[in-house]
């Protein structure tokens, strides 16, 4: 307000040209399509940048983004990394050329579509969706137009909330977008922000837990409010509002773990209601289960997802996992009903993905020989078929 009244502002921060210079270079080898992909890209860059004074110079975006794409991109970058300023080489005003804003020798990072997919996989649903929210950032008239078109002639099974600004809402009403969204069972709100409007209390009052949205910024925030958010496209979110399910096939089944670590992997599951000891159960040279009375005796564990009841053994089993990794005679991932801290340390040293602690017996729920995805970031195991 003082700057508006006086026409002056303190000579500090990003008002100074030297502070607007890039501090890191980010190369991108694809152009996002949907708004949730733009948000996921911004989130990934924000995680790399990591602080307010970091200024990314992004190279590889060949087409000028639309305003809504930039909005989701910038909002997610700020949410995930506190980033206040970025440059797009050849697109933003000061970055006609990369060299205009980026001095030589900057730290350089490369982001691929696989990185975006990995971030999106961190926000997964177990199928059921309790509420769909489009907010943070507030929707433009263009987004409301697209949402209204998706709602035409449809009926929602779960609440759908679309949040816009007081300036946009009257135009949304006048052009019939509000009526089309609300005829399907949705609600168009203005002048508020979902996560700042007692989001936790709203969830508790309505029994909401699993929330779907196309906003990367929103999924980053709502985990702290007790939600299990899922990041998806606008089309997928509307479909979820109609069916009450998020993108699950009939064959898919998802199990949620309480403890998790490691990278996302997919592979074939070896399942048994039995324990696991690297010292006593395995032939670590041949890569097979060797204890005669083990339920997986004689089967190779190399490159397999082991789904077992509990971990056994102590320090020896833990260091053996690391030694097995050095020779490539190692499972793809470990999944247990329960696990002891020593084996967790050993798996971490070996770089083995692990899930543990389920609400049901995981060895009874996962079919032996099925293809599964272990997603520690989302704390879920998905049976793919």
pLDDT score at 218: 96
Query: Which of these three, 209, 243, 277, is where a domain ends?
Result: 243
Residue 194 in any domain: the answer is yes
The mean per-residue pLDDT over the stretch 188-202 comes to 92
Residue 312 in any domain: the answer is yes
Query: Which of these three, 75, 93, 121, is where a domain ends?
Result: 121
Q: How confident is the model at residue 252 (pLDDT cuts 50, 70, 90)?
A: low
Query: Which of these three, 68, 103, 121, is where a domain ends?
Result: 121
Query: What's 175's domain CATH number?
Result: 3.30.499.10
The DSSP bridge partners found for residue 314 are none
Same domain, 346 and 364: yes
Query: What's 321's domain CATH number?
Result: 3.50.30.10
Same domain, 230 and 349: no
For 204-250, write each residue's pLDDT tens digit.
999 999 999 999 999 999 988 989 999 999 999 998 998 888 875 44
**Strand 56-59 relative to strand 87-88: parallel, antiparallel, unpaired?**
parallel
pLDDT score at 294: 95
For 146-180, write each residue's pLDDT tens digit.
999 999 888 898 999 999 999 999 999 999 999 99
Q: Is the predicted pLDDT of residue 107 greater than 50, yes or no?
A: yes
Same domain, 89 and 136: no
Q: Is pLDDT larger for residue 127 or for residue 82?
A: 82
Residue 79 in any domain: the answer is yes
DSSP secondary structure code for residue 13 in this structure: G
CB 303 within 8 Å of CB 372: no
The mean per-residue pLDDT over the stretch 20-36 comes to 95
CB 185 within 8 Å of CB 154: no
For 318-359, write each residue's pLDDT tens digit.
789 989 999 999 999 999 999 999 889 999 999 999 999 998
For the chain, the maximum distance between any two Cα atoms, rounded to a whole number of angstroms, is 84
Domain assignment of residue 45, given as a range: 16-121
Query: The whole model's pTM is what?
Result: 0.69
Same domain, 93 and 162: no
Q: Long-range contacts made by residues 328-331, C-beta under 8 angstroms, separation at least 24?
A: 328/302, 329/284, 329/285, 329/287, 329/302, 330/302, 331/301, 331/302, 331/303, 331/304, 331/305, 331/306
Residue 183 in any domain: the answer is yes
Same domain, 213 and 311: no
Residue 235 in any domain: the answer is yes
Same domain, 379 and 267: yes
For 363-385, write each residue's pLDDT tens digit.
999 999 999 989 887 778 888 87
Instruction: Say what percent of the chain tops pLDDT 70.
Output: 98
pLDDT score at 379: 79
The mean per-residue pLDDT over the stretch 290-301 comes to 96
Q: 334 by DSSP, 3-state: which?
A: strand
Q: 213 by DSSP, 3-state: which?
A: strand
pLDDT score at 137: 94
pLDDT score at 251: 47
Quick count: other Cβ atoms within 10 Å of Cβ 370? 16
Q: Is the predicted pLDDT of residue 314 greater than 80, yes or no?
A: no
Tokens matching residue 180: 């089309």
Same domain, 236 and 260: no
Residue 167: partners with Cβ closer than 8 Å, 6 or more residues away: none
Tokens matching residue 134: 């489009």
């Amino acid at each position: 307000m003082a700057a508006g009244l006086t026409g002056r502002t303190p000579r500090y921060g990003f008002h100074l040209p030297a502070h607007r210079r890039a501090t890191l270079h980010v190369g991108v080898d694809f152009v996002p399509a949907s708004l949730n992909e733009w948000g996921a890209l911004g989130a990934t860059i924000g995680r790399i940048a990591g602080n307010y004074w970091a200024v990314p110079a992004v190279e590889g975006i060949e087409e000028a983004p639309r305003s809504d794409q930039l909005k989701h991109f910038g909002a997610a970058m700020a949410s995930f990394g506190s980033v206040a300023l970025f440059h797009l080489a050849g697109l933003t005003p000061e970055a006609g050329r990369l060299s205009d804003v980026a001095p030589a020798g900057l730290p350089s990072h490369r982001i691929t579509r696989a990185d975006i997919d990995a971030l999106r996989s961190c926000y997964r649903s177990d199928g059921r969706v309790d509420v769909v929210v489009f907010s943070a950032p507030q929707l433009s008239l263009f987004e409301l137009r697209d949402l209204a078109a998706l709602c035409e002639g449809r009926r929602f099974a779960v609440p759908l909330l679309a949040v816009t600004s007081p300036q946009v809402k009257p135009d949304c009403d006048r052009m019939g977008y509000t009526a089309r969204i609300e005829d399907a069972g949705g609600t168009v709100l203005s002048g508020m922000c979902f996560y700042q409007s007692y989001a936790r209390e709203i969830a508790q009052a309505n029994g909401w837990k699993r929330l779907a949205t196309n906003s990367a910024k929103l999924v980053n925030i709502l985990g702290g409010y007790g939600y299990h958010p899922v990041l998806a496209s606008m089309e997928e979110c509307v479909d979820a509002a109609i069916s009450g399910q998020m993108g699950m096939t009939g064959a898919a089944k998802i199990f949620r773990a309480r403890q998790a670590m490691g990278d996302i992997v997919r592979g074939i599951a070896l399942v048994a209601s039995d324990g696991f000891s690297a010292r006593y159960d395995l032939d670590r040279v041949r890569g097979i289960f060797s204890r005669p009375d083990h339920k997986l005796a004689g089967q190779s564990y190399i490159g397999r997802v082991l789904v077992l009841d509990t971990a056994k053994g102590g320090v020896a089993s833990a260091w053996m996992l690391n030694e097995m990794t050095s020779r490539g005679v190692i499972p793809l991932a470990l999944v247990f009903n329960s696990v002891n801290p020593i084996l967790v340390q050993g798996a971490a040293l070996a770089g083995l993905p692990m899930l543990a602690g389920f609400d049901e017996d995981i060895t009874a729920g996962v079919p032996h020989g099925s293809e599964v995805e272990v997603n520690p970031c989302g704390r879920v195991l998905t049976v793919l078929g």
